[in-house]
Amino acid sequence: MSGCESVTSLGQEPDQQRKAFEELYRATRSDLLAYVMRRSQNAEDTADILADTYLIAWQKLEKVPVGDEARPWLFGVARKLLLKGSTRRRVAHALVERLAEELHRIQSTTSTEHQMTSVLRAMLGTLSETDREILTLTAWEGLTPKQIGKAMGLPANAVRVRLYRARRRLQRELGSNRDLELSFEPTQAVE
């Protein structure tokens, strides 16, 4: 047989293809299992790699070489899957590390943020409902005076004036809390 021959040919019946695959599986299962076991992290990974290798072999059955060449072909497929799995594990580990660092950072700032939120809510409570809404739509939602005007049914100039006055009132309230850093600047450019 030449090097171009495969386990099956394109013209084979499904039953013949199944038999060819079963023969390939029986002939290579032990060696492939040993190969994957020596290179994988655990039994679950071994089972997954083995199953995926044979799935690819089934899908590409007409490309699987015949005889002794089938075994190294399957090893090559398994090797690629092992490398892909190793990369996935490294990426997942790095992601877990980043998430753990972020969680730690969030947990360490939560109490400070809670105190700031309490002070901020108390100060916002001194404003009228309309001024409080204008200020929070600007600072927290990033809306411009024009957008706030549309949302609240007010002229943009009236929103600008109310926003200016509300900020001044809060600045006076902040006088006793100078260590509290709060920004009431819009997150978008003011139109």
102 lies in some domain = no
Count structural domains, the chain: 2
Q: Is residue 113 part of a domain?
A: no
**In a 3-state reduction of DSSP, which class is residue 6?**
strand
CB of 181 closer than 8 Å to CB of 112: no
Residue 101, in any domain of the structure: no
**Alpha-carbon span 138 to 147, nearest angstrom:** 9
Give me the domain span that covers residue 62: 14-93
Output the DSSP codes for 30-84: HHHHHHHHHHSSSHHHHHHHHHHHHHHHHHTGGGSBPGGGHHHHHHHHHHHHHHH
- Residue 120 lies inside a defined structural domain of this protein: no
Mark whether 85 and 147 lie in a shared domain. Answer: no
Q: With 0.75 as the threshold, say if the pTM is over it.
A: no
Look at residue 9 and tell me if it is in a domain.
no
Per-residue pLDDT of the chain (191 residues; tens, 9 = 90+): 444 456 555 456 888 999 999 999 999 999 999 999 999 888 998 999 999 999 999 999 999 998 889 999 999 999 999 988 878 878 877 888 888 888 777 766 666 667 777 777 788 888 888 898 898 888 888 999 999 999 999 999 999 999 999 988 888 877 765 555 444 444 444 44
